[in-house]
Structure 1
Amino acid sequence: LSTLLGELSKEFKIVLVVGGGDIARRYIDIGRKLGLDEKSLDIIGIASTRVNAQFFTMLLENSNKDQIPENMEDAIKLSKKYSIIVMGGTTPGHSTDMVGAELAEKVKADLFIIATNVDGIYSKDPMLHKDAKRFREIKIDDLIKIVGGTDWKKAGSNVIVDGPACEIIKRSRIKTYVINGKSINALKDLIKNGRLVEGTEVKI
C-alpha cells in the first residue's frame, strides 16, 4: 500500500486518515472494563491512530514525517507542503471516519475512499453473517439506516462507516467509495481511472 500511495502521490494530492485498528480497540476494551469514561477512552483511541499515522509516514517519501497534524487547520497547511500527508484522529467524539469525511469536504476532494477490511458495504456484518449481501452501490440514506443513524455511538465502535461521517458525506455530496484496503489493484484503478472494480459506491 505504501508503495502504491507513493507512486500515486506523484500525480495526485493524497490525504490519508488512519484509524486505530485492533490495537486501539484492545486498549479501549481494557479501559472500559476498568471503568474509564467515554472521553478518556476516545483519547486513548486517538493516541493509537496518531502512532499508526507516524509509523505510516516513515514508509513514504515526501510525507509529513516531522509533524502529524492534530486538527483540520494543520492538515490543510501540510497538504500544501507535501504531496501526501498522513494523520490520525483529532478530538474526542470524532471518529477517523468523520475526520476523513470532514477533511475531504474542506479540501474539496475529488474522491473520498474508505479503505477497510471487507470488500465493500454489506447488508449486515459479513464476518458474522454468511448470508450478508454486498452492495455494488447504496444510497446514503440507506447506509445511514444500516449503521443506525447519524449519532456518534462510542469509542472503539466498529461499523463500516459511522453515522457522523455519513452525515458529512450527505451534506457535502462527496463522491465516496468503500473498498478493501488490501485490494491494491482495485484501489489504483479507482484513483487513477475512476473505475470501481470491486467495492461499493455511495450514492447521494
Structure 2
Amino acid sequence: MTETDTPSDIPRTRYKRVLLKISGEALMGDQGYGLHPPTVQRIAREVQSVHEMGVEICMVIGGGNIFRGLQGSAQGMERTTADYMGMLATVMNALAMQSALEGLGVFTRVISAIRMDEVCEPYIRRRAVRHLEKKRVVIFAAGTGNPYFTTDTAATLRASEMACEAIFKGTKVDGVYDKDPAKHADATRYDRVSFDEALAKRLGVMDASAIALARDNNLPIIVFSLDEPGGFRGILAGEGTYTTVSG
C-alpha cells in the first residue's frame, strides 16, 4: 500500500482531519512510570484503524509519564527549566509512537517545536500540512516550544493551525462528568457541554487557555475513552459514547 492508498470498504466519517490529544500517562499502562510497549502498540492500532478510514490525523502526546514540568517546579526546580524538561519528555513519547505506527505500516512524521534535526523535523506549518495531505500521521512534540504552556494548549494551537475539524481528547473515562466518576457513583456524564460551561464549572476537559482558544476558533473537543477498544474509530463512524464540547 502506498502513502495515499486507503481501503475501499471503510465506513464514512464526517471528519476529514482531526487531532488526537492523549496524556503521557496513557502510554505507561499499569506501570507507575515510563513507557509500556504493549500499551503504545494498542494505541497505535487505534490510530491505524482511523487512518485506514482515510482520516488525516495529527497527534499531541503529553510527557507526564516521564517528567511533568509543573511538578518539578513545585519541588523547587526553576519553572522554565522544568517545563523544557517536560517538552523533551514529549519528544521521547512521540518517537515511541512513531516507531509503533511505522511498525504497522503507517507513514509517520514527528515534528518538534524545539529543533533537534537528528531525530525529528522542525515545526514548519506548511510542511506539516503537506504531510497530512499525503496521509502521513503527524505527531507534534515539544509543546509550543515555550515554557508555561501545557500540551493541551499546544494541541489546540496545532489543531487550529492545521485546520482540523475537531480535537479528540482520549481519557480514561467515556466523556465529561460533573464530578470524578472514579470517586463518586452518582457522577453524571454530559452528552454535550458548551465551552463557557466547561470553563465556568471547571470540568477538567482541558486547561482554561486551551478551551478558550478552541472556543475562539470554533473547534469542537470530543472527549472519549481511550481504554475502550475501537472507541476512536467508532466515534468517527458515528457510534460510541462521548462528550462534545462546543459553542
TM-score above 0.5, yes or no: yes
Equivalent residue for 2:235, pick from 184, 187, 190 = 190
User: Matched residues in 2 for 1:127 and 1:85: separation?
Assistant: 33
User: Matched residues in 1 for 2:183 and 2:66: separation?
Assistant: 21
Equivalent residue for 2:130, pick from 67, 71, 80 = 80
- Where do 1:93-132 residues align within 5 Å? 93-132=148-187
Deviations 1:50-94 (A, max 9, x none): 111111000112001xx4321794365234135201123232122
Other structure's SS at 1:52 match: helix
AA at the equivalent of 2:130: K
User: Matched residues in 1 for 2:226 and 2:125: separation?
Assistant: 22
Deviations 1:142-184 (A, max 9, x none): 1011328xxxxxxxxxx43111110111111112201111223
Change (3 A) 1:22 1:127: farther
Change (3 A) 1:128 1:45: farther
Return the structure number with greater strand share.
2
User: Matched residues in 2 for 1:49 and 1:76: separation?
Assistant: 22
Other structure's SS at 1:58 match: helix
- Unaligned residue ranges in structure 1 (runs of 5+): 149-158
User: Matched residues in 2 for 1:55 and 1:12: separation?
Assistant: 22
User: What residue is the counterpart of 2:119 in the other structure?
Assistant: none
- Scaled by the length of structure 1, what TM-score is found? 0.81
Q: CA RMSD in A?
A: 2.3
Aligned-residue sequence identity (percent) comes to: 21
Shift of 1:189: 1.9
User: Matched residues in 2 for 1:186 and 1:3: separation?
Assistant: 11
- Scaled by the length of structure 2, what TM-score is found? 0.68
Shift of 1:196: 5.0
Equivalent residue for 2:77, pick from 1, 16, 36 = 36
Equivalent residue for 2:91, pick from 39, 47, 50 = 50
The yes-or-no answer on 1:170 pairing with 2:170 is no
Other structure's SS at 1:41 match: helix
The aligned length equals 188
User: What residue is the counterpart of 2:40 in the other structure?
Assistant: none
User: Matched residues in 1 for 2:64 and 2:174: separation?
Assistant: 17
